[in-house]
Structures are given as C-alpha cells and as structure tokens.
Chain A
C-alpha cells in the first residue's frame, strides 16, 4: 500500500470522527443525571457549597467556621455540609468555566450552593443554572437590603454574602485648604450633592495645584464599571431596557449621555484623568478625592492612616440636579444551583445559615465589607465612612443592569470610558451601542 493511501485512510477516518463529534455535539447533551439527594456512607444527607476564596484567607476561614457551626447544629438531623474552596487564582473566568463544566454533568457534580458575583446573576438564572428561591425562602428575603437581593424578573435567585458600596474618599486637609469647610462636607454627606457642586469642589482643589479627583478611569474590568456606572443612573439614565435586551434609547438616551458628559467634563477640565497613579491619594498629599469601594477603608486604617494628618472621610456619589442620587451595590452572593439534586431542603437550610446574621457578621468582620442585612445591629456613626456607605446602600443603592450579556456590557462600558480620553460622548456612544446590541443578540437564547 502506498503511503498516500495510508494518509488517505487516516484522513477519512479523522473526518468521520470529526463529523461524528460534530453531530454528537448537536445532540441533547447525553442526558443530565437527576437524583433525589446525596448521602454519605453514614447515611447523612450531604449538602455542598463552593466559594471563590482560598481556605487560608481570612474570608475563607470565616466560611469554614460557618460551615463547621452548621454541621454541629444539624448533626441531629443527619445533614452534613461540605465546603470547597476554588480560589480565583486563574481569574474569574476559570471559576466560571469550572461551574459550567460541573453543571453540564448533572447528578450533583456541581455544588448545591455556589458563590457568584452579583451582576452575573441574570446570565446564570436565564440559563436555568440557578434555582428560583422565591418560594423556598419565603419571607426570609425581607431580612436583606432590597437592592442587594439578586432578582431576575422579580424572582429571587441569589442572597448576598455581604455588600460593597463605593464613594468619594476625601483628604480632609486638602479640602479644607481649598476652602471646603467641614460644615459644607457634612452637608454633602447628609443631603447629597449635585454634579455642579462636585465640579465646584474640584475647581477649588485644582486652583490649589492639587489633582482634584482620581475616578480610577484606568482601573479596567469590573472595577471601573462598578465604580462609575452609578453616575449614568444618577443623571436619570438607564443603560439597557428592563428586560436587558435593548440598548438603543437607553445607553444613548439624553439622561445617560448626561452622566457620561459629567465624567467627560471632569476629564476636559483637568479634574480627573487617565494618568493618575492609583496610590497617590493614599500615599501623598496630591489628590483631593478618590473614587473607591469599601475595601479601601481597612486599607487606609491599617496602612495609610498616618498620611491623613487632618483625617479623611467618604462623600456620597453626586447626582444631576433634580434627579435622585444613585450608588453602587452588588457584591458576591450565594445561589442554590440546578445541579441534578431534586430535594433542595438541605440546601435551603445551608444558604439560610450562611447568610444568617451571625454568619454575615463573621464574614464581614473578616473582610471589612458591609453587611447586606437590615436585621443586623448596625452601629455606624451617621457621617463616618462606613455610615455614609451603609446609608447609600439602604437609600440610594441600585444594582448594575440585570442582563444575560452582563460581561459584554462591562466590556463596552470600559471601552466608552476609555474612548472619552480622545473623543466626545456623542462620538463614542454610537459604535458602542451597535456593538453591545450585537453581543446581546448573540447571547439571546
């Protein structure tokens, strides 16, 4: 047999394999296994949970402690919880890949409860990966800050582990030196402030030779979206339609444009920029304000307190004149998965335990983040940094758009912010509207 014939044979067989593979790929997926419940060799009902942190971190230890306490409390009912730590060492994408693979296998391979980042909820819920918990948890949902509960089409799919708001951290000395009095600052904290008032403070700081504000325009990824999206909403705009499927008329509406124009004005006037060193606010007396999340509070307290001789604080998000204030919400949450286990009673018990007041306190103590529960005893001083953030969460918190193609929204939002460095809002938005709509259509199933 000639060599060419051998190659021909191999090619034909490979092509057949490819065809078979392709055809098989088009099938229903090989039957997801469904079982009633999982038990261990001692007859205990097993319930599993997966978190996104390493077991050696403070947060990981807090989760472990909560699970240990659950096991002690439910020993008499023969329910046993097992926790898996899938740290996001390879990035959030790898974590999501793991979830998808396990979900595809069914039969309880995917954990009964998983931790997920709040804005991803709609995608998971619409793909049926998450269980609608509305009836399973009943009134328990009322224990949470309403804006923090992960809802899609009015149904509850996730309960927050903790919360994370953001605000404008300020250097008190720089603001006072620029002529912004403590009374004025307190007034902004109490009654909120408009875009114009914000720019007026920036102008004063600039006149003193300081960089008025670091808006973290180059933070990239979800950080940038999380910090900046409230400004479009605070101008009265929305980014997508309520069903998350239409962009035109929302992302490019006059109100949303006004939000982007506020950012653009700050850039053009030299109040903020893309070349500010992200640690300048913390380490030097050169930046007056810094847009960041609650995670900066422990950072300042533990490492940089001595750099703020006259102290520091947090100012809320500004808003357009006549429009209600809006602030950032949405942190990691827990959801019950459609993992092929039919009986969800043990999972419901565990998710309630993991989000109970005691567990929430343990976890937020470990992370320095804010609790997402209204039932917890909160004793933040009203105008303290934590007090301002918590007040925002309860009164002005608005989640990021609930849409299946949220990752695409975040990508396009970053491209808009990046595009503002050279172009006007009017020039940047049309391409991004078209691009996001295309991506939403691709995701629509």
Chain B
C-alpha cells in the first residue's frame, strides 16, 4: 500500500513539476517579466492545499480506481489480484438478475427524480418568502436553515419518532385521534422512500435557500420597477425576471443537489436499515465494502457511480447553459 502511494506521489510530483516548468517556459517565451522568487512563493502558498487535495482527494480516488479491477478483500489485505473487468461483469449480472443492486439503482433513481425538484422548489419558495423586506422574516430564515445545521443522524432519529409505527409515533397518535389505526410508514414499500425524500428535502432545502437568497439580491431592483410600470404581475415578473436572473445559481444548485441525491445513504440506513425497498447505491456500496468486506467490488460500484453521475452532470450543464 505504502509502495503504491509513493509511486502515485512520485507520478503526481512529476506531473506538477512539468506544469511548473511549462509555466516558466511560457512566461519566458511571451517575454513576460519573470520573477523566480515570486513564482516559488506562489507555489509554496499553494503547497498545503495541493498536499491536502493529494492525500484526501486524489489518492483515495486513484486507489479506488485501481481496486475496482482487483479482488481486494478486507480480510486479505496482502493477497490482492488483478481481475480485469470481472467485478463489472458481476455487477451487471446482478442487475440483470434483479438482485440487490437492481433495487439500489431503482431506489436511487426514484429518490433523485423526486428530491431534486422538490428540494430546489422548496428552497426557491423559501428564498422568495424570506427575501421580502418585512419584519420577522429573518426569524423564519433562521428556522428554515436550522435543519441544515443539525446532523442527518439527529434529524433521521427525529423523523423516526414522528413516524414510529405505533401510538408513540407523533403522526400515528395524531391519526389515532381520527380513528385511524397505526400505520407502519417506513415498512410500507410504497411510502417508505417518499418519507425519506420528504425528510431529505426538508433537511437540505435551507442551504439552497441561502444560495438562492444571495442570487435574488443580485437581481437589479429597477428591472422589477420597470416591469411594474409596464403592468407586469407577480407571476410575469417571476418568469421573466427572477428565473432568468437566477439561471447560473439554479445550474449550480441543480448540479450540487443532484450529486448529493445520488449519494444518499444515511437516511435509509438509520430509518429503515438495509431493506430492499429503501437501499440506495451508496448504501449498497457501503454494505459491499464493510459488510461483505469486498473492497474490489465496492470500488467497482463507486467507479460506475462516478461515471454515471459525471456523465449526467455534464449533460445537465450542456442542456442548461
């Protein structure tokens, strides 16, 4: 492991040195006044960030990429073999046999399709609401942002109490007042994922609300005033001024919420445990790595996820640009 890390570090250092050399040559050819000391100082200032990025981002990604083509098992750390694409074949076989991975893909897709528009829509609504210059609005802003600060574990447990399948559950005790018997919301295959979507959107939308708020403040007020003089109503102003004004913000939020949604794991893990109707891709990957100890296969899932998420993100950018 250490040897591999050193090899990658050496390759990375060579690549970095090449880039620096190219920079110097470029500067000299362009007859730009070149100060070696300043240049070194610049690279030195970048060094801590580069080192951290190397250790915590680049190295794990490269290791994971490498492991995806091996039979690495957690109990056999010194007995790793190159297995070509057999991990991927295994995964595709599982998908075609409608195994757990099939359910994980299906549930993740459902989660993404529901949570992305819901969370962004909620965030935009809240941003529009809190952006008004009225007394007490800041209190609402804090309230809407509060779930973001609370850890997902805590909010998941909070919702577990709300959705408990007996009279001790807040929602069931409320329904009981109308004569409705206890409902097991999280065991029901039809509703469990919807509750997880709701929890996630509620927990996450406060953060996007803040970004939308800052985007809204960048839209010039005179545009709204001019539109009002022209007789535009609220909806017209929203469609013709607010939405175009928020386009770049919306693109950023769509990409980040989409990527976050693809990685959902904590909520189903805490609220239902490993169940076929709520397992997600990240949860499956975690289970494969830590539960089954199959790091190689788990890395293959990670690689597949990265490729699919990356491709969809690129398409999103192209379409929305």
Contact = CB atoms under 8 A, between A and B. Distances in A.
Interface string A401-428: 0001101100100110010011000000
Interface in A21-35: 21-30, 32
Contact of A435 (B78, B100, B164): B100
A13 B168 contact: no
Contacts of A439: 292
Contact of A101 (B77, B90, B97, B168): B77
Interface string A104-148: 101000000000000000011011010000000000000000000
B244 to A, nearest CB: 32
A24 B290 contact: no
A255 to B, nearest CB: 26
Contact of B80 (A29, A97, A276): A29
Contacts of A376: none
B183 to A, nearest CB: 9
A104 B295 CA distance: 14
B202 interface: no
Interface residues on A, range: 35 or more
Interface in A51-108: 93, 96-97, 100-101, 103-104, 106
A77 to B, nearest CB: 33
A1 B22 contact: yes
A209 to B, nearest CB: 15
A25 B19 contact: no
A24 B297 CA distance: 18
A22 to B, nearest CB: 4
B75 A100 contact: yes
A415 B275 CA distance: 7
A301 to B, nearest CB: 24
Given A20-B11, A32-B78, A104-B78, A438 B99 contact: yes
Interface residues of B, number: 58
A254 interface: no
B276 interface: yes
Nearest to B164: A277
Interface string A358-387: 000000000000000000000000000000
A275 interface: yes
B2 A30 contact: yes
Contacts of B189: 422
Contacts of A1: 22, 25-26
B103 to A, nearest CB: 11
Interface string B49-80: 00000000000001101110111111111111
B175 interface: no
B294 interface: yes
A28 B18 CA distance: 32
B268 to A, nearest CB: 12
B81 A24 contact: no
A445 B73 contact: yes
Nearest to B90: A442
B159 to A, nearest CB: 16
B78 A29 contact: yes
Contact of B287 (A29, A103, A275, A411): A411
Nearest to A11: B15
A129 B75 contact: yes
A18 B82 contact: no
B75 A124 contact: yes
Contacts of B100: 435
A443 interface: yes
Interface string B182-220: 101001010000000000000000000000000000000
Contacts of A20: 4, 7-8, 11
Contact of A21 (B8, B26, B76): B8
A160 B11 CA distance: 48
Interface string B117-130: 00000000000000
A17 B79 contact: no
Contacts of A408: 291-292
Contact of B168 (A9, A26, A277, A443): A277
Interface in B286-301: 287, 290-294, 297
Given A29-B80, A415-B276, A21 B4 contact: yes
29 contacts: A1-B26, A13-B12, A17-B12, A18-B62, A20-B4, A21-B7, A21-B62, A22-B65, A25-B66, A26-B70, A27-B80, A29-B77, A29-B80, A93-B291, A97-B74, A127-B76, A129-B75, A220-B273, A275-B184, A277-B164, A414-B273, A414-B274, A415-B274, A434-B97, A435-B100, A442-B292, A443-B292, A445-B76, A445-B79
The 4 closest A-B pairs by CB, nearest first: A104-B77, A17-B11, A29-B78, A127-B75
Given A126-B75, A277-B166, 17 more contacts: A14-B12, A20-B8, A21-B7, A21-B65, A22-B65, A22-B69, A25-B80, A26-B70, A32-B78, A127-B75, A275-B165, A275-B184, A404-B75, A408-B292, A438-B99, A442-B90, A443-B294
Interface of A: 1, 6, 9-10, 13-14, 16-18, 20-30, 32, 93, 96-97, 100-101, 103-104, 106, 123-124, 126-127, 129, 220-221, 274-277, 404-405, 407-408, 411, 414-415, 418, 421-422, 434-435, 438-439, 442-443, 445
